[in-house]
Amino acid sequence: MYNDIDLAALAEVCENAWDAFLVFKRTQVSQRALLMRTIATALEETGDELIAVAMKETNLPEARLRAERGRTIFQLLQYADACEKGDWLEIRIDTAIPDKNPPKPDIRKMLVPLGPVAVFGASNFPFAYSTAGGDTACALAAGCPVIVKAHPAHEETSTIVAQAIQKAVEKCGMPKNIFTHVYGKSFEVGKALVTNHRIKAVGFTGSYGGGKQLFDWANQRPEPIPVFAEMGSVNPVFILNEKLEHEYATVAQQYAGSITLGVGQFCTNPGLLFATKSPGLDEFKLALATAIKEINPGTMLHTGIAKAYASKREVALSQPSVSLVAESSTAPNEGQGQPTVATVSGEQFLANPLLHQEVFGPYSLLVECNDTNQMLQIARQLEGQLTATIMGTEADLKSNINLIEAVKNICGRIILNGVPTGVEVCLSMHHGGPFPSTTDARFTSVGADGIKRFARPLSFQNWPNSLLPEALKNENPLHMWRTVNNQLTQSAM
Amino acid sequence: MYNDIDLAALAEVCENAWDAFLVFKRTQVSQRALLMRTIATALEETGDELIAVAMKETNLPEARLRAERGRTIFQLLQYADACEKGDWLEIRIDTAIPDKNPPKPDIRKMLVPLGPVAVFGASNFPFAYSTAGGDTACALAAGCPVIVKAHPAHEETSTIVAQAIQKAVEKCGMPKNIFTHVYGKSFEVGKALVTNHRIKAVGFTGSYGGGKQLFDWANQRPEPIPVFAEMGSVNPVFILNEKLEHEYATVAQQYAGSITLGVGQFCTNPGLLFATKSPGLDEFKLALATAIKEINPGTMLHTGIAKAYASKREVALSQPSVSLVAESSTAPNEGQGQPTVATVSGEQFLANPLLHQEVFGPYSLLVECNDTNQMLQIARQLEGQLTATIMGTEADLKSNINLIEAVKNICGRIILNGVPTGVEVCLSMHHGGPFPSTTDARFTSVGADGIKRFARPLSFQNWPNSLLPEALKNENPLHMWRTVNNQLTQSAM
């Protein structure tokens, strides 16, 4: 429907974004916050049309899409507040000590924007992690122009959202090239974007293969740039003995729901369950099987994803010693994903790295460990994850301290007695994790701390008050929290 | 004098560091601060012996070495205070809202250590950027074990410092493998260390070639890890017209001193001076020449560095249209570096990338621009720098806003009417900068914010108060500043 941008035009887009950066970086945080709120309003105004188009392109249900647009608007508003409040600027001021030997100069530090950011949205979140999603919101808050490459699976949806953003940019009197929307189904467009010298950072949500490729291109540039790629995760769940024995029925219900939520197409979908062999585990398996059988197959995002699910599920089920626990009683139609739980022993799991990999869809593997030692051994060998979950009673937790510590080492969020699906948009959320779940464990893609991905510190030494940025002036005209001579304060100096 | 560690032994060192990490990461910040203060005391106690050995190995003068050890002790104490105070933990707490739909869980986030860190020290700072230097201090503060590879140019100095650290580790009852000192003159040791899967970050201070190689190895690992390499900088200085006209004599004196300070062996040494052709510039050149002629050659760190300086200086001086402004009247002895200033036109500078490169030593190139437009064009094309300096009157600054903005884009610290040499150890200092001055512009290697290089966020969802880390408990027992429900506060909840 849309033609790929040609590479000469793309290079011009990047130059224009750079020119826009020179203006945009000098805007006040209040102006950027206003822009983000105006985008939120414009997104609200896309009304039923956007939902209808997104339903057609993504197969996601209407209620889910309306909720996701609501979340996207909420994100923009929340990050706008955070942008304006300015805690993210990490302001540090040390005043001069002229009679020190040698004299100590006045030094003031704050974060400044990196430059134009390339954003590659997600197929599974057409709004919240796409065109006007978290990456775009954070980059604009930081003062960075954004170039979004429309996701090939929902280009029309992306176009409508991009138009809403462009309308808001115009309304706010901002340089139009702080936001550009380009099309590119081909490999070449993505590569040209990431390797263009005007691009200073990359945001990505998608597969390991895609994210790692962008990361490699970015690091091989003459000037390497940061890539924030969220690349998926199997989100292991460790169900401890007493919990299993006492609450197997509740846990089974909870997890049957979490595994199949949104046809298993969330990055926090629990793909691995660990428990030790016991009568409790047998009961849990039965209860989980009963629950899974009753859940109907759902239509996946597009046929390519459904086909990939069917084939990866097949491969996983055909591994040595893997056996089916249950699948939905209703057979899937074309394009649907069939809820499935399989099981394998701890030994086999340790021996077969393929079993550690994500099967994107409503699939989970229950690993039956011989004992808690084996569970610990597995936790110590697992790859990096967005989340990990411990299901345990107080007694379980007390007797599994080493396990909990091992689990902390491999994840960005550790959940107790809950499910990993559901990513709250708030400052305390860390949606990130050790490689390979992301390419940079130090930054989050959800919550206002994500703004810091697109900024770097700059120190001003010996500048007179009148020439400093507003955030650094003595009077503290923006009423920000600042660390002045090692003390956090909101006062003027 | 010392044999390279063999690679099997090095792998064991890394395993041991990992085991120590599992204990060390659970220590309280107060325990780590105590460790750092104990290291500071042990370093103090190295007394005259350390200074004598360092003088022999580095050719640095006694007063400079005593001052540098003082700075290293000061760093350890300052970062210990910051470690204990805990601002760097970036604590965010959002309390539960059970009646929200869906219910919002309690989520609390703080930074946690990455794991064992490999540190490669600098030849030009045997204390402050080496064995017990900023990288080691920051990594220990974060809760990361450290493996230092002794710099081949000062292995004996490094050994004495390492013994002081080991004594302090023992005195504090910490696991001994939180600090290991290894020797390796060969390429293989460095590579094996950076590519060992137990190593989770790298700190480096040195040449572009060395830093970039570590960066590439780290990014090509199955699990890429962050490399914080500070790789040098030419620290451009832009001298504006009115300043030049009115204060050429003072500026010339100031810069003759800065260019030759420590025989030009500082990473913030000003290697490029930009000014526009004018009678003021002619006067400045004369004054600078007079000053440079009077400064005696100094002994460089070792003969290899002195030879490299002589040859790079020769290459720089032999470039088309480059001419000598002045060199010290006294000829250098073997091992010494001769103070030198050369000049070239703006056109030639733009045309010849070799002239943009660092000549490590007491050398600076004065670039004579046709006008401020050409100066702006140059500023827009310069590579990333640790620092950049503007010398200007108020009128100069007002008429050069675009230049100042362009300069901000390429540096980590922007100095007004001063010299870049002299890096204050304080929170507001950013000692970092866009590539190629460092591999990660988002982090500093001086000041307590450098602790954050070795940490990543971890969110705790739905954990009871009793099982949370001290820093996240309701009572706020460590009296830290925390953002609770979006408000910074030091209060208990």
Q: Which residues, at least 6 apart from A236, have a Cβ–Cβ distance to it below 8 Å? A: A270, A271, A272, A273, A274, A379, A382, A385, A388, A389, A407
On whether ipTM exceeds 0.95, the answer is yes
Q: Is B71 on the interface with A (CB under 8 A)?
A: no
Q: Which residue in the set A93, A430, A435 is minimally distant from B457, CB to CB?
A: A430
Asked whether the beta carbons of residue B408 and residue A458 sit closer than 8 angstroms, the reply is yes
CB atoms within 10 A of CB B436: 21
Residue B232's pLDDT is 86
pLDDT in tens, A96-139: 999 998 899 999 999 999 999 999 999 889 999 999 999 999 99
Burial of residue B192 (number of CB atoms within 10 Å: 0-12, 13-18, 19+): buried
Active site residue A267: yes
A424 CB neighbours in chain B (<8 A) are 94, 104-105, 107
Mutate to test the interface with B, among A459, A460, A480, A482 (most CBs of B within 10 A): A459
**A77 has pLDDT over 80:** yes
B463 CB neighbours in chain A (<8 A) are 414, 416
Question: Quick one: average pLDDT of B458-486?
Answer: 98
Q: Which residues of B are catalytic?
A: 230, 267
Compute the mean pLDDT over every residue in chain B, rounded to the nearest whole number: 97
Structure tokens at B123: 């030849």
pLDDT in tens, B408-467: 999 999 999 999 999 999 999 999 999 999 999 999 999 999 999 999 999 999 999 999
**A1 has pLDDT over 90:** no
Residue of B nearest to A429 (CA): B459
End-to-end CA, chain B? 58
Name the pLDDT band for B328 (thresholds 50, 70, 90). very high
Name the pLDDT band for B54 (thresholds 50, 70, 90). very high
Q: What are the start and end residues of each CATH 3.40.309.10 domain in chain A?
A: 237-416
pTM of the model: 0.97
Q: Kindly give the interhelix angle for A29-44 and A155-171, rounded to the nearest 10 degrees.
A: 130
Q: Is A208 on the interface with B (CB under 8 A)?
A: no
Compute the mean pLDDT over every residue in chain A, rounded to the nearest whole number: 97
Closest CA to B184 of B115, B270, B121: B121
Element (H, E) at A323: strand A323-327
B224 CB neighbours in chain A (<8 A) are 215, 435, 439
pLDDT in tens, B145-155: 999 999 999 99
Q: E strands, A40-143, where?
A: 92-94, 107-113, 117-120
Residue A101's pLDDT is 85
Q: What per-residue string of b and e applies to B260-295 under the rule 16 or more CB within 10 Å gives b?
A: bbbbbbbbbbbbbbbbbeeebbeebbebbbebbbeb
Q: Which residue in the set A22, A415, A458 is minimally distant from B414, CB to CB?
A: A458
Q: Which residues, at least 6 apart from B115, have a Cβ–Cβ distance to it below 8 Å? A: A409, B18, B21, B144, B145, B198, B199, B200, B201
Residue B102's pLDDT is 85
Q: How far apart are CA A182 and CA A488, in angstroms?
A: 43
Closest CA to B147 of B160, B162, B134: B162
Name the pLDDT band for B334 (thresholds 50, 70, 90). very high
Question: Quick one: average pLDDT of B360-383?
Answer: 97
Residue of A nearest to B448 (CA): A486
Structure tokens at B207: 């040449």
Minimal CA separation from A360 to chain B, in Å:
22
Question: Quick one: average pLDDT of A280-305?
Answer: 96
Q: What are the start and end residues of each CATH 3.40.605.10 domain in chain A?
A: 7-231+441-487
Asked whether the beta carbons of residue A429 and residue B384 sit closer than 8 angstroms, the reply is no
Q: Which residue in the set A219, A394, A467 is minimally distant from B397, CB to CB?
A: A467
Q: Is B412 on the interface with A (CB under 8 A)?
A: yes
Residue B397's pLDDT is 97
**A446 has pLDDT over 90:** yes
Q: What class does CATH assign to A237-416?
A: alpha beta
Q: Is B90 on the interface with A (CB under 8 A)?
A: yes
Structure tokens at A147: 């170039």
**B295 has pLDDT over 80:** yes
Structure tokens at B279: 């009678």
**B1 has pLDDT over 90:** no
Q: Which residues, at least 6 apart from B400, have a Cβ–Cβ distance to it below 8 Å? A: B240, B372, B390, B392
Question: Quick one: average pLDDT of B126-136?
Answer: 97
- Domain B7-231+441-487 is found in CATH 3.30.565.10: no
pLDDT in tens, A317-342: 999 999 999 999 999 999 999 999 99
Q: How far apart are CA B292 and CA B264, in angstroms?
A: 12
Mutate to test the interface with B, among A108, A387, A449, A461 (most CBs of B within 10 A): A461
Long-range contacts of B182-186 (CB under 8 A, 24+ apart): B182/B5, B182/B10, B182/B13, B182/B147, B182/B148, B182/B149, B182/B150, B183/B2, B183/B3, B183/B4, B183/B5, B183/B149, B183/B150, B183/B155, B184/B4, B184/B5, B184/B10, B184/B149, B184/B150, B185/B4, B185/B152, B186/B4
Distance of CA A90 to the CA centre of its chain: 23
Element (H, E) at A140: helix A134-142
Amino acid at A210: G
pLDDT in tens, A237-280: 999 999 999 999 999 999 999 999 999 999 999 999 999 999 99
pLDDT in tens, A303-314: 999 999 999 999
Catalytic one among A84, A230, A327, A368? A230
Q: Is B302 on the interface with A (CB under 8 A)?
A: no
Q: How far apart are CA B428 and CA B4, in angstroms?
A: 39
Residues 159-198 of B with CB under 8 A from A: none
